[in-house]
Amino acid sequence: MALTLLLLPIAAVIRRHHHVRLELTPRQRGLRRMVHVVCASDVAFVTLFLIILSAAQSHIAVERPARFKITLLQILGGDRAVGSLGRNLRNLAAVARTRLWGWSRLFDVIVMLATVGFTWFVVHWNVINFSLNY
């Protein structure tokens, strides 16, 4: 997902260099933007979670500010998980109906699978667990 965000400007530069325009319908453009937002939110969620946990290492069960930050992050993560699954379903339907270049379709499917896998990982390993009993 981080590679999606890193390679976005590189792909734009390559298209501009070769004078190839990315022709998308307004719906496809919106779905593409949503996929980038989902990838950015996944990367931000992981980064913030690691920052909060590393800053609160031994004080996690004692301090109230750490509890609030963790609860807030878990709420944001839950919202991100539900939102990404809905966006992926809409994006999958758009990929199946449109005439896309084969590699572009493969990339879209890989990004969708990555977000679903990440959501499964977060839920299965109780990263989003609203109980603060550790």
Domain ranges of the chain: 2-124
User: Which of residues 115 and 90 earns the better pLDDT score?
Assistant: 115
Check: CB of residue 99 under 8 Å from CB of residue 23.
no
Q: Report DSSP state, residue 130.
A: S
pLDDT tier, 57 (very low <50, low <70, confident <90, very high otherwise): low
Q: Which helix (H) or strand (E) holds 88?
A: helix 64-97
Please answer whether residues 52 and 59 qualify as being in contact, where contact means their C-beta atoms are separated by less than 8 angstroms: no
Q: Which residues of 17-33 are buried (b: 16+ CB within 10 A; e: fewer)?
A: eeeeeeeeeeebeebbe
Whether the per-residue pLDDT at 63 is higher than 70: the answer is no
- What is the average pLDDT score of the chain? 77
Mean pLDDT of all residues in 94-108: 72
Quote the pLDDT of residue 100: 66
Overall pTM surpassing 0.85 (yes/no):
no
Contact 48, 41 (CB under 8 A): no
